[in-house]
Amino acid sequence: MMEKKEILESGLLEQYLLGELTGSQQEQVAHFVRTDEEVRMAYSKLEADLERMAQENAIAPPPMVKAQLIEELRSEDTATVSMPSRSRSNPWLAVAASIALLLGISSYWLYSKWNSAEENLKLVEQQRTELDQELTELVASYDEVLEWYKAINDPNAIKVVLKGNDLAPKALAVGYVNHETRSVVMDAKGLPALDEDHDYQLWADVDGEMIDMGVIKKGTEMLAMNYIENAESLNITIEPAGGNDHPTVERLISNVYL
Amino acid sequence: MLNESTLIQKLQNGDSTALSALYDRYSGALYGVLLRMCKNEPMAQDALQETFLKIWRNCGSYDPEKGKFYTWAYRIARNTALNALRNPSKLIQTEDLSVYTNEAEEEAPDIDLIQLNGSLRQLEAHHQKALELVYFQGLTHREAHEEMEVPLGTFKSYIKQALKKLRESYQMALVLGGLLMKWIV
């Protein structure tokens, strides 16, 4: 425990004045200042010295510092309108509360609007994707049709009508042979439907030999077939599904000479 | 003019006019200290504003039983300036850059302001220096005795003697002033 004499003579009081002491030293000096008349007197003198020196060496700050301080206080005052120590009710409090309430309501409204807008956006995006797909398909089929149209309308295309014989009297297929572009196109929609195990197949007769021109795929209206050089006739047979290496002559349904 | 304890009471009740009155009373004394500590006018001005904002915000923690209001305010100002000096980046953010380009020109007149006045000037050089270091430069007793290159005990007695002489010269001035007043009357 510190002695009173120590505090008065060791310069501790001067250090205490400047806030230099910490912990128990600070507490002990503070205790003496509070309770001991002599220490209290000595401390008051030091305080008076400090203040007098400062006042004798005072420098007036520019007026703008006070103006800024007042401004700062004002902005702080409006920011802390809910300070409980204010006894008189502040009209700005009501204004601020109303604004806060309005903001709350409007942000909830905006939030729900935003949510539904987002849902709508998702729906529109989904529809757009579907439309995109449809368009792609349409463009593809348009391109295909255009191709067929060009092939059929080509002045060099020779139209060959393949009528069914006694085996398939109702069958009718149309071929378009173009020697210039070396291509063969078939319109096979007039051929009667076959069961799953069978397909129609097109053959070219070259010097008595039957050469494969391709299987006529089920369900397709227009087909590009293989062009065969020096073909004398076009022939359609019914073959096992997927086609055959050699024609089954017994099941020949149509034969046309070129 | 209101007495100080009434002002303090009003301040602690959240009355900003009390702060304004206390500012008028003490800003010069505090600015004198801050300018001598910072040696830079914008920095000292910022520190002064900061000091009064802290006084406003923390006035509830001031206890008149423990000491004078000026002592409390002085400690806040001193700590604020020490923080600003330790961490000057805060100042750079708030100040216009032009301040720094003009600094060299502005420094010259400050030297006169930083000179100490009043009864302090009548003291011997080492006494004046000792008081200046702790009360106007913000040094602790330990830092100041190193600065003056004397033992801590010696430095502490410098302070004691300097303050004693200061009081004597002040009382002499009061007595002379009193005599002068009597003589005039």
Mean pLDDT computed over every residue of chain B: 83
Contacts of B49 in chain A (CB under 8 A): 65, 68-69, 72
Q: Please report the pLDDT score of residue A220 as a whole number.
A: 77
Q: Does A57 touch chain B (CB under 8 A)?
A: yes
Q: Please report the pLDDT score of residue A85 as a whole number.
A: 45
Q: Please report the pLDDT score of residue A4 as a whole number.
A: 83
Which chain B residue has its CA at the smallest distance from A10's CA?
A: B156
Which chain A residue has its CA at the smallest distance from B118's CA?
A: A56
Size of interface A-B (CB pairs under 8 A): 128
Residue B26 pLDDT > 70: yes
Yes or no, beta carbons of A65 and B48 under 8 Å apart: yes
- Could you tell me which residues come within 8 angstroms of residue A62 by beta carbon, excluding any fewer than 6 positions away? B45
Tokens linked to B159: 């302070």
Name the pLDDT band for A79 (thresholds 50, 70, 90).
Answer: low
> How many angstroms separate the CA of residue A122 from the nearest CA in chain B?
46
Which chain B residue has its CA at the smallest distance from A17's CA?
A: B71
Complex-level ipTM beyond the 0.90 threshold: no
**DSSP letter, residue A192:** P
List the single residue in A15, A45, A61 with the smallest CB-CB distance to B45: A61
Residue A187 CB neighbours (<10 A): 20
Yes or no, beta carbons of B52 and A15 under 8 Å apart: no
> How many angstroms separate the CA of residue B75 from the nearest CA in chain A?
6
Residue B94 pLDDT > 50: no
Q: Please report the pLDDT score of residue A22 as a whole number.
A: 85
Tell me the C-alpha distance between B127 and B163, whole Å: 9
**DSSP letter, residue B59:** G
Over residues B63-87, the mean pLDDT reads 91
Contact A21, A29 (CB under 8 A): yes
Give tens-digit pLDDT for A93-125.
888 888 888 888 888 888 888 888 888 888 888
Give tens-digit pLDDT for B125-181.
899 999 999 999 999 999 999 999 999 999 999 999 999 888 888 777 777 777 777
Name the pLDDT band for A23 (thresholds 50, 70, 90).
Answer: confident
Tokens linked to A179: 């020697």
How far apart, in Å, are the Cα atoms of A122 and each of A117, A135, B159?
Answer: 9, 20, 80
> How many angstroms separate the CA of residue A80 from the nearest CA in chain B?
12
Residue A190 pLDDT > 50: yes
Over residues A151-167, the mean pLDDT reads 89
Q: What is the pTM of this model?
A: 0.55
Yes or no, beta carbons of B53 and A72 under 8 Å apart: yes
Give tens-digit pLDDT for A195-218.
889 999 999 999 889 999 999 988
Percentage of residues in chain B with pLDDT exceeding 70?
A: 84
Contacts of A52 in chain B (CB under 8 A): 119, 166, 170
**Best residue in B26, B52, B112, B133 for a mutation probing chain A (most A CBs within 10 Å):** B52
